[in-house]
Amino acid sequence: MFKGILETIVTNCSGGIGAVLMGYDGIGIEQYSIEDNSLDLNLVGIEYSNVTKEICHTAEILSAGVLQEVSIKTENYYVIIHSLTDEYFVALMIERRGNYGQGRYLLMREAPALRRALV
């Protein structure tokens, strides 16, 4: 079920490369990537889970509210991390020429289905 939802997000996002559903503990649940993707999505998820955990902790210390989304822009990619629960998040990788706004929309649209599947 997770793979189908992740596939929907990636294939409907212009420039989508892959998506990974992961726990904040760095344990991957599921991933989907396009065939010619050379990135190790599991490694991407593991490394960004550590950063995202720290951001969650900082938001808590500052009483800023619960983390909803983190965006990372590098020379080659956008990475959008969307929090699903206090234990899980989904990360979407998009080529820089891709549609960042469309990726954010698709993550928000599919987040309820991912949450339901996690139960």
Residues with Cβ < 8 Å from 102, sequence gap 6 or more? 12, 13, 14
**What CATH number is attached to the domain comprising 90?**
3.30.450.30
How many whole angstroms separate alpha carbon 84 and alpha carbon 95?
A: 23
Q: Is residue 38 scored above 80 in pLDDT? A: no
Residues with Cβ < 8 Å from 108, sequence gap 6 or more? 82
pLDDT of residue 12: 98
Banded pLDDT at 41 (limits 50, 70, 90): confident
Cβ-in-10-Å burial (0-12, 13-18, 19+) of 63 comes to: exposed
Predicted TM-score (pTM) of this structure:
0.93
- Count of domains in the chain? 1
Range of the domain at 71: 2-118
What are the phi and psi torsion angles at 20 (to 5°)? -135, 135
